[in-house]
Chains A and B, each alone.
Chain A
Amino acid sequence: MVEWTDFERTTISSIFASLDYNDVGPKALCRCLIVYPWTQRYFGAYGNLYNPAAIKSNPLIAAHGVKVMHGLDRAVKNMDDIKATYAELSVLHSEKLHVDRDNFRLLADCLTIVIAAKMGSAFTCEVQAALQKFVAVVVSALGRQYN
C-alpha cells in the first residue's frame, strides 16, 4: 500500500482539479504520438496520423486523450488503492490492447510536460516530485496484470 503525505495528496488533488481534461488530455496524447511516433502503432484505427498537424486535428485522438484523463481521475479519487482501481484497466491494456508497458511511462512523461507548461513556475520541484510519485504508482498499477 502506497503511503502518501498530506502534501502529496493535496498537490495531486489540486493539480487535477485545476486541469481542463478536454484540453490537457488531447495535448498530452498528441505530444506522445509526435515525440514518440512508435506509440502510433496502437492507433491504427484512429484515422490520419500522418504528420503532427494531422495528429493535432484528429478528433478521435482528442477524444481518446480526454478518456485517458478521466481514467487518471479515478486514480486521483482512489489514491489509497490505485492497484485495485486499475485491475481491470490493466487486464484490458495487456490482454486486449497489447500495449507495451514502457509506453505508459512515455505518456506519463508527456502529461507531466503538458502540466509543467500549464503551471509554469507553480510547477516547483516539490510539486513535480509529488506528480512523479503519482504517475509512477499509476504506471505500475497499469502494468500489474501483465504477467
Chain B
Amino acid sequence: MQQQLQTAKMTSLTAKDKDRVRTFWKLAGPVSDDIGRDALARLVAVYPQTKGYFSHWSDVSPSSPQVARHGQTIMKAVNDAVAQIDDLKGGLLPLSELHAYTLRVDPSNFKLLAHCLMVVLAAMFPDEFTPEIHMAMDKFMAAVSLALSEKYR
C-alpha cells in the first residue's frame, strides 16, 4: 500500500498499466532498434519543425543514418525506462538533467515522438496493439516525458 502511494505521487501508472506495458514490451523490446529508427525518421518527416534540434547533423532526412542511429539511442533509453517503470523519476534523472541543461528540447516534442512511436507499434503489431495496450503505452510515454522534464525548472 505504501509502495503504491509512493509511486502514485511520481506517475499515474496503475498496476494494470505497468503490467500491460511490461507484457507488450516482451514483443517490442527485441526489435527496439528497428522501432527507434522508424520512430525518429517519422518524427522528422511528419513534423519537420523538429529537424531544428538536429541541425548539427549533415543529413536530417528520414533516411539519414544519423537519424537512424539516434533513433536507436532513444529507443534504448525507452527500453531501460520499461525496466524502471516503478521509479521513472529516479531512473531517468541523468537523462532529465541532460534534457534540461544541455538539450533543452521543448517538452511538446515528447508528445510528437510518442505519437510516432504509437504509429510504429500499430504498424508492426496491428493485432497486439489494441486500444487497451495503446492507452497503457500512451500513459507510459506521458510518464516518461514527465520524468524527462523533471529538471526543466
A and B from one complex: yes
Which residues in A have some Cβ–Cβ distance to B below 8 Å? 30-31, 34-35, 52, 56, 109, 112-114, 116-121, 123, 125-126, 128-129, 132
A134 to chain B, nearest CB (A): 12
Q: 27 pairs across A/B with beta carbons < 8 Å?
A: A31-B131, A35-B138, A52-B131, A52-B132, A109-B115, A112-B119, A113-B122, A116-B119, A116-B120, A116-B122, A116-B123, A117-B126, A117-B129, A120-B123, A120-B124, A125-B38, A125-B42, A125-B45, A125-B46, A125-B62, A126-B45, A126-B62, A128-B45, A128-B119, A129-B45, A129-B46, A132-B47
B115:A125 contact, CB within 8 angstroms: no
B30 to chain A, nearest CB (A): 18
Q: CA–CA, A114 to B115, complex, Å?
A: 13
B123:A119 contact, CB within 8 angstroms: yes
Q: Report A-chain residues with C-beta under 8 Å of the C-beta of B131.
A: 30-31, 34-35, 52, 56
Interface residue? B99 (CB, 8 A): no
Q: Report B-chain residues with C-beta under 8 Å of the C-beta of A116.
A: 119-120, 122-123
Interface residue? B92 (CB, 8 A): no
A142 to chain B, nearest CB (A): 19
Q: Report B-chain residues with C-beta under 8 Å of the C-beta of A109.
A: 115, 118
Interface residue? B10 (CB, 8 A): no
B128 to chain A, nearest CB (A): 10
Picked from A52, A114, A121, A132, the residue with its CB within 8 Å of the CB of B46 is: A132
Q: Report B-chain residues with C-beta under 8 Å of the C-beta of A118.
A: 126
